[in-house]
Amino acid sequence: MTDVVQQNGGPARSNDGEPDGPAGVTPASSGDPGSAGPGRVMDAGTKEPETAARIRQIRTRIDQIDQAIIDLWQERASLSQEVGAMRRASGGTRLVLAREREILEHFRAALGPDGTQLALLLLRAGRGPL
């Protein structure tokens, strides 16, 4: 099984050395990634052209959202690290547990149990592991 993203952050490659398509799906071999010959399933997972076109549109938007999440994640981590450095430089504590609990509760209330896990990852990105 090929990972979607390699450790270095580059695109995963299939066994033939070609980049895998979205979510590890290898695109159709013709010049048009959405085209498929008779009986072939399009890269969108359907033989229906209109559905495949809509799926490609949705995937484009998902890719844009993913990039925005990555950009915001990196900005948040940087700001959190800056706050921590300022706090330590002024003689404060490494962590403010009340603030971390506030963030955890906010994410849990908005997203449920998965929100708690997401918040833990965000906190770790900003302060490092405990």
Residue written as tokens 């959190």?
80
DSSP states along 11-25: BPB-TTSPBP-GGGP
What's the mean pLDDT when you consider all of the chain? 79
Residue 58 neighbours by CB under 8 Å, 6+ apart: none
Q: Where are the domains of the chain?
A: 1-46, 48-127
CATH topology classification for 48-127: Chorismate Mutase Domain, subunit A (1.20.59)
Dihedral, CA of residue 56, residue 61, residue 62 and residue 65, to nearest 10: 160
Residues 2-13: pLDDT tens digits? 334 433 444 443
Residues 68-116: pLDDT tens digits? 999 999 999 999 999 999 999 999 998 999 999 999 999 999 999 999 9
| Direct distance between the N- and C-terminal alpha carbons of the chain, in angstroms, rounded to an integer | 32
In this prediction, residue 34 carries a pLDDT of: 44
Rg of the chain (C-alpha set):
21
Q: How far apart are CA 123 and CA 103, in angstroms?
A: 8
